[in-house]
Structure 1
Amino acid sequence: MEYQYLLLDVADKVATVTINRPDKGNALAPGVLEEIIDVFAGLGEREDVSVVVLTGGERYFSAGFDLNEIRKLEKVSNEAYTALFHRAYRAILFCPQPVIAAVGGAAIAGGFDLTMMCDVRYASSRAKFGQREVVLALTPILDPLWRIIGLGRAKEVALTGRIYDAQEAERMGYVSRVYPEGELLASVKTIATEMAGYDRMCLIETKRLSNQLLNLDLDGAMRTQEWLFRTYLGSQENHQRIDALQARLAADRRK
């Protein structure tokens, strides 16, 4: 399917979704959000996709809300627009496959929220992050932010509206790694391709498990993890991968 505001590429079991509205800093107009909902719904059904990368390219991620669209709204007529944002957020957050954010530039307000919905975040050294809703007299999203960086730091991000550079985002644990400018997409593609080579259902179940654990007590979490481990241990896929790993190790020893 052709999209107006998104580019979709699938190769090596990795789907790369690129927000493509550079003239507006990839601002999240309704059309962009509708396409995000559609593309992630479709990717969740694809057996040939094991990992998804969400990006705006090497120069952008998303400047956030399209303020011209926001300014048109009234309190009595904002329900559909609010629901559209949250449907887009949920489409990413609950996509069955792991979703990696590759952040090449500013990820602000709604753009920041999109990165928050991803499972892993990598950034270019030129990236910037900011939950700027409070500056616009809007309430921000604190969950899942607090699950990622802790409640105290999440409060700071939400209440101050500060802009953080990539290095500070990495130090607070929001970003997993920062790459030099121009090297982000190639580096993330390498990581995503390696991940996509793993068992697809194991990836999906691990993501699902990570979302369940915070709602369980410690005993329940341990039992759930034991049960899930048992469903894979000794499987044909497990045996094949052990054999392949041992063959590679033996070959390395012979060199």
Structure 2
Amino acid sequence: MITVDVMDGIGVVRLAHGKVNALDLELCRTIEQTMRDLDDPRGPVRAVVVTGAGRVFSAGVDLKRVLDGGAAYVAEFLPALSGAFRSVFDLGKPVVAAVNGHAIAGGCVLAAACDHRIMASGSGTMGVPELRVGVPFPHSALEIMRFALGPVGARRAIFDGANHEPEAALALGLVDELSEPDALLDHAMAVAARLATDIPADTFRCTKTQLRQEVNERLDRVTEPATVELWTTAATDGRIRAFMDRTVGSGSTLRES
């Protein structure tokens, strides 16, 4: 589901969950636990790189699980999804996303939660089509996208709902730079090592906490009954099924949003 390899103090966290690293309840809980463990200031890891196995970073939420599980699954899954996002967003060490392929919906948010995002040039796409699926963003995802893109950029990306090729993703600020696919992981590790070496660990952690303080204060106050209700409605009124029929039925290899 997840592998962690430590090389020269850099923890490489690789999502390895099915063909497209779909975000389901189990993967979200594993992401959160993995990131909490790596956040230990006394541990051997100085920085973290997050990437995906295969040709996909993450295609987002496993919508089939949502359809199959209904209200009970949604009520359990959405807090786990937010927990996964926040565990990456809050990790007090440098976190670099090595976006090796498609990073869609929740996969895009997961990358946006990182401190620096590098995307492989090529055929991967990146975007947040949640509204096209017919579901609202969890507050954690909204706040992370707003933090990463700014209010105007986040609004445009969210309401547009398009998935973007690497060059467009760079222009929109979804990623910070592009890399040749074969050099992506090495480049991400070099950036992570530079951040961990050039900035004292306690200074980095303090500054990262300061930068995220207002976001986390808002998230700590929020409750999401309306979000849960709308996701549950979407699982039963046909809108998620219709989206899957449009995308998977058209020949897309991505099962998720």
- For the superposition of Structure 1 and Structure 2, which TM-score range results when normalised by the shorter chain? 0.7 to 0.9
Deviation at 1:106, TM superposition (A): 0.3
Structure possessing the higher radius of gyration over alpha carbons: 1
Divergent runs of 4+, >4 A = none
Q: In the alignment, does 2:134 pair up with 1:137?
A: yes
SS in 1 for 2:50: strand
Q: Partner residue of 1:201?
A: 202
Structure 2 unaligned blocks of 5 or more:
217-257
Structure 1 unaligned blocks of 5 or more:
216-255
SS in 2 for 1:74: helix
Structure 1: how far apart are the matches of 2:84 and 2:126?
A: 19
Which of these residues, 67, 74, 78, is aligned with residue 78 of structure 1?
Answer: 74
Structure 2: how far apart are the matches of 1:55 and 1:188?
A: 9
Q: In the alignment, does 2:54 pair up with 1:50?
A: no
Percent identity over the alignment? Answer: 28
Structure 2: how far apart are the matches of 1:32 and 1:145?
A: 21
Q: Deviations over 1:148-178 (max 9, x none)?
A: 2222221121112101111111112221110
Q: Taking structure 1 as the reference length, what is the TM-score of the superposition?
A: 0.76
Structure number with the bigger relative contact order (C-alpha 8 A, sep ≥ 6) is 2
Deviation at 1:42, TM superposition (A): 0.6
SS in 2 for 1:143: helix
Structure 1: how far apart are the matches of 2:214 and 2:64?
A: 40
Q: In the alignment, does 2:34 pair up with 1:39?
A: yes
Which of these residues, 94, 103, 107, is aligned with residue 107 of structure 1?
Answer: 103
RMSD across aligned positions (CA): 2.1
Q: In the alignment, does 2:205 pair up with 1:168?
A: no
Q: Deviations over 1:86-120 (max 9, x none)?
A: 11111111111121111010001111111121111
For 1:201, the aligned partner's letter is D
Q: Which moved more, 1:75-84 or 1:10-19?
A: 75-84
For 1:200, the aligned partner's letter is A
Q: Deviations over 1:38-87 (max 9, x none)?
A: 11111111432221111114722001111221112334652111111111
For 1:211, the aligned partner's letter is R
Contact 2:105 2:128 in 1 (8 A): yes
Aligned residues: 211
* Map 1:83-98 → 2, pairs under 5 A: 83-98=79-94
Q: Deviations over 1:19-42 (max 9, x none)?
A: 012x42111122211211111111
